């Protein structure tokens, strides 16, 4: 199960890096990579195809990341055992509870008269 989780995390990282690269390649004003192909009026169809590809790649990679994250959550489920730090805290907690409690009262615990 750990190897599947690691594989999913690697795929999520790769998809995230690709998504960042594609988003950074786009121009917020609509130019992006297509602006390098502009100039000749005959290249307008190439420009439109580049914009379509960039938009489809952005949506596809976003969907892939979401699906991979949901799959990883389903696969991992509820952890079978707690982390070592939490186990140490649970071992120390009964020792602290066996010590006599101090008799100080807080304002919320003051006895009613």
pLDDT in tens, 37-68: 555 544 455 556 677 888 899 999 999 999 99
Q: Which alpha helices (H) appear in 2-80, and where do they start and end? A: 2-25, 34-37, 44-76
Q: How far apart are CA 69 and CA 72, in angstroms?
A: 5
pLDDT in tens, 4-36: 889 999 999 999 999 999 998 887 665 555 555
pLDDT in tens, 65-104: 999 999 999 988 766 555 666 666 666 666 555 555 556 6
């Amino acid at each position: 199960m750990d190897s599947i989780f690691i594989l999913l995390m690697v795929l999520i990282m790769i998809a995230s890096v690709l998504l960042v690269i594609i988003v950074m390649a786009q121009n917020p004003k609509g130019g992006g990579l297509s602006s390098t192909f502009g100039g000749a009026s005959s290249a307008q169809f190439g420009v439109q195809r580049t914009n379509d590809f960039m938009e489809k790649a952005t949506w596809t990679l976003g969907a892939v990341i979401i699906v991979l994250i949901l799959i990883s959550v389903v696969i991992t489920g509820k952890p079978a055992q707690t982390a070592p730090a939490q186990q140490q805290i649970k071992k120390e907690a009964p020792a602290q509870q066996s010590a006599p409690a101090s008799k100080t009262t807080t304002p919320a615990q003051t006895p009613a008269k």
